[in-house]
Amino acid sequence: MSNFFASIGSFLADKGVAIIAPYKDTNIAIQLLFVVVLGILALFISRIITNMLKKNYYKIINNHFWSVINDFFVPIQHKLIVAVLFSFTAQVMKYFGGAAPILRIISVVLFFWIVIKLASRLVKNPFFKKVLIYSSWIIIILNLLNLYSDMAILLESISVTISGIKVSLYGIMRSVVYLGVLSKITSVLIEFVSQRINLSNDLNPSVKVLLIKVIKVVGFTMATILFINIIGINLSSLALFTSALGVGIGFGLQNLVSNLISGVTLLVDNSLKPGDVIEVDNHFGTVKVMGSRYTSIVTVEGKEHLIPNEYFISNEVVNWSHSNKLVRQTVEVGVSYNSDVKKVMMLLEEAVNQIPRVLKRPKAKVFLTNFGASSVDFNVTFWVNDPQAGVINVKSDVLVAIWDILKQNNIEIPFPQQDIHIKSFEYSDIKKKK
C-alpha cells in the first residue's frame, strides 16, 4: 500500500514539474516577491472596502439587492482581490514576454475556490453541498495536472446504447451538473424577480401572484429547453417514448394540472387573492398564500388549512372582502320590561361606539325587534373594515361594553322564568275519586 501512495506522489510531483518546466527561465524569485507584495496590497484594499461597507451598513441592509451582494461579497472579498491582482499581474508579465506560472496557478485556484464557495452557499442540502465541493476540487486538480481530457475520454468510453442513443458515464455526470446548475440559477432568478414584484406598490395582490406563476412556468420551461439543447438530446428519436410518457404523466398529473388551472382562473377573474377574508366549510380565515396546487387559509386560531384550488371553483365560498372589506355584524340584547326602551336604545348605541374597531361611518344602529316572553329584544348592528383581525373578538368587545353600560344604569338583563302554581285540594276529594 505504501508503494502505491509513493507512486502516486511521484506521479503528481512529475506533473507539477511538468507544469513549471516550460518556465525554468522565468525568475521565480520575482514571482514570489509579487506574491508577497500583492498579498499585502490585497489586504490593505480589503480593509478599505470593509471600512466603507461599515460606514454604509444601514443603507446596505435597507436595500434588498445590495444586502444580498454584501452577504456574498464580504466573506470572499480578500481572496477575490488577491485572485484579480495575481491574474492581472500574470497577464502583464505575459504581455511583456515573461511568464508567471505560480501567479497563474494561484489565481486559478482562488477563482475556483470563490466559485465553489458561492455555489455551496446556494445549495442548502448538506449531502449535495459536499458532493459539489469535492467534485469541484477534483476537477480543479485534474485541470492543473492536465489530466482532465484523459479522464473525460475514459469516462466517455464507459457507455451503453439505448434506442440508438449512446449514453455514457461522462454524459450522465455532465447532464447532472448542467441540470443542477440550470435549475439553481433559474430558481435564484425567479426568486429575485418574485421579490421585486412583491415589493411593488403599483400591482394588486392577485396580479402579483399571477405574474409570479407565469414567470415560474416560463422560467422553468426555458431552462428545460436550454438543458435539452445543451446535452444534445434528439427528441425526434424519442417521439414514441415521449408520447407514451406524456399520456401517462397526463393521467397521473390530472389533479395537479386541474389545481394549477383553477388557481390561475381564480387570479384572472379576481375572485380570490392573498389577503382576502373568506369562509369555507365553517372555516373562517385569511388567504395567506395561493400556490400552484393549494391555497393556504390561516384562521384566527392560527391554524393553517391547505385547500386545493379546484375546491374554490366547484364549491360555494363566502368572500367577506371581495369588493371591499366592510363587514356588518349583529348582536342580540334583551332587557327587562321595566326598562325605558328609548334610554336603552341610546345606551346600546353609546356602548357599541366605544369600541375602537367599530366604524363611525357607516353608523352603528339599534333596532327593537321583538317583545319576547321575558324580555324586550334589540338588534345592535355595526360595521368593521378589518375582518382579517377577527370578528368574534370584536363582537365579544361589544357585548362586554353593553353589559357594563347596562349594569351602570341599573338596567336588568332578564333570563327566562317560569312560575309553578300548585292548586290546593282536600284529602276527602281524593277519597271520593277513588
**pTM beyond 0.85:** no
Candidate CATH numbers 2.10.25.10, 3.30.565.10, 3.30.70.100, 3.40.50.620; the one for domain 327-408: 3.30.70.100
Average pLDDT over residues 108-135: 75
Note the pLDDT of residue 5: 41
Domain spans, the chain:
2-146, 171-252, 262-319, 327-408
For the segment 254-282, the average pLDDT, to the nearest whole number, is 78
Q: Do domains 262-319 and 327-408 have the same CATH topology?
A: no
> Can you name the CATH fold of 262-319?
SH3 type barrels. (2.30.30)
One-letter-per-residue 3-state SS of the chain: CHHHHHHHHHHHHHHHHHHHHHHCCCCHHHHHHHHHHHHHHHHHHHHHHHHHHHHCHHHHHCCHHHHHHHHHHHHHHHHHHHHHHHHHHHHHHHHCCCCCHHHHHHHHHHHHHHHHHHHHHHCCCHHHHHHHHHHHHHHHHHHHCCCHHHHHHHHHHCEEEECCEEEEHHHHHHHHHHHHHHHHHHHHHHHHHHHHHHHCCCCCHHHHHHHHHHHHHHHHHHHHHHHHHHHCCCHHHHHHHHHHHHHHHHHHCHHHHHHHHHHHHHHHCCCCCCCCEEEECCEEEEEEEECCCEEEEEECCCCEEEEEHHHHHHCCCEECCCCCCCEEEEEEEEECCCCCHHHHHHHHHHHHCCCCCCCCCCCCEEEEEEECCCCEEEEEEEEECCHHHCCHHHHHHHHHHHHHHHHHCCCCCCCCCCCCCCCCCCHHHHHHHC
Identify the band that residue 26 occupies on the pLDDT scale cut at 50, 70 and 90.
Answer: very low
Lowest mean pLDDT among 10-14, 97-101, 137-141, 290-294: 10-14
Q: Which is more confident, 367 or 318?
A: 367
Identify the residue with better confidence: 285 or 322.
285
